[in-house]
Amino acid sequence: MEQNKIPQATAKRLPLYYRFLNNLYQQGKKRVSSKELSEAVKVDSATIRRDFSYFGALGKKGYGYNVEYLLGFFRSTLDQHEITEVALIGVGNLGTAFLKYSFLKNNNIRITKAFDKDPNKVGTEVEGVPIYSIDEMDKHLGHIRVAILAIPASEADAVTDILVKHGIIGILNFTPARITVPKHVRVHHIDFAVELQALVYFLKHYPLEKDE
C-alpha cells in the first residue's frame, strides 16, 4: 500500500481507530457499525467512511465492519506487527511519567532506552528501562530512530543536533522550544499549555450546545 497517498489528517486518526478496534476485539466483538465507531472515537461517520475509503471499501451496508479484519488491516498499516523502539531523552518529571505509563498495553511502541546528563540518574533504571549518558549515545542508541524530547528548552537545540547526528529521524518534542532540524527529520510538537489555551478560547468563542 502506498502510505504516502493517505492524507495526513487521516493518518493521524488511524491510531484512534486502532485503539478502539483493539478494545472491541479483546471483548470478543465480531463487528462494529460505523455509527458505533463514530460515537466511540468522536469522529463523524462521513469522515470515517472517507478515511477508510483510502484503503479500499472495507465495510458493508447493513453489516458494518468486521472487527478482526479491520484490526489486522490497521495493525499492518500502522506497523503494529513489529515493535518500534523509542528513546527517551530527559528522565525528569515528565520523562519519568512516560516511563511509568505502559505503552505496552495497546500498541507496539516501547521506550526501551533513556538518556540523561545527570550523573545521579545515569546507570540506573526506571521501570526496567536503562538510563544512559547522553554523551554515550553512539554506544547505546543502536537501531532506534525515534526519540521523545523531555529536557529543558534551553538544551533542546544542542541535544537535537546530537540526536540527528546519531540517525534519529522522528522527534516528539515536549519542550516549548521550536527546534531546527534537517529536512529528512520529522518533528511533532506537543504543548499542553497551548492546547489548554486553545480549549479555553474555543469554549469562550465557540460554545457548544447542550443535547436536548
Select the residue interacting with ligand NAD from 191, 198, 201, 203 (CB under 6 A). 191
C-beta of residue 116 within 8 angstroms of C-beta of residue 131: yes
> Shortest gap between Cβ of 122 and ligand NAD (angstroms)?
9
CA dist., res. 117 & res. 102, Å (int): 24
Angle at 154 between CA 152 and CA 160, to 5 degrees: 85
- 93 appears as a binding residue in the annotation: yes
CA dist., res. 163 & res. 158, Å (int): 9
Nearer Cβ to ligand NAD, position 51 or 116?
116
Nearer Cβ to ligand NAD, position 7 or 176?
176
Residue 126 makes contact with ligand NAD by CB under 6 A: no
C-beta of residue 37 within 8 angstroms of C-beta of residue 66: no
Nearer Cβ to ligand NAD, position 67 or 149?
149
Residue 51 makes contact with ligand NAD by CB under 6 A: no
Residue 174 makes contact with ligand NAD by CB under 6 A: yes
Q: Which stretch binds ligand NAD (CB under 6 A): 2-10, 11-19, 58-66, 144-152?
A: 144-152
Residue 44 makes contact with ligand NAD by CB under 6 A: no
- 92 appears as a binding residue in the annotation: yes
Residue 59 makes contact with ligand NAD by CB under 6 A: no
- Length of the chain counted residue by residue: 212
Look-up of cell digits 461517520: 45
Residue 21 makes contact with ligand NAD by CB under 6 A: no
Angle at 128 between CA 127 and CA 134, to 5 degrees: 100
Residue 114 makes contact with ligand NAD by CB under 6 A: no
Select the residue interacting with ligand NAD from 48, 122, 134, 171 (CB under 6 A). 134
Pairing mode of beta strands 186-189, 109-116: unpaired
Contacts for 34-38: CB closer than 8 Å, 24+ residues apart: 34/59, 34/64, 34/65, 36/64, 37/65
94: nearest Cα among 1, 173, 34: 173
Residue 190 makes contact with ligand NAD by CB under 6 A: yes
C-beta of residue 77 within 8 angstroms of C-beta of residue 51: no
Residue 141 makes contact with ligand NAD by CB under 6 A: no
> Where on the chain is the footprint of ligand NAD (CB under 6 A)?
89-95, 115-118, 121, 134, 150-153, 155, 159, 174-176, 190-192
User: What residues are designated binding site?
Assistant: 90-95
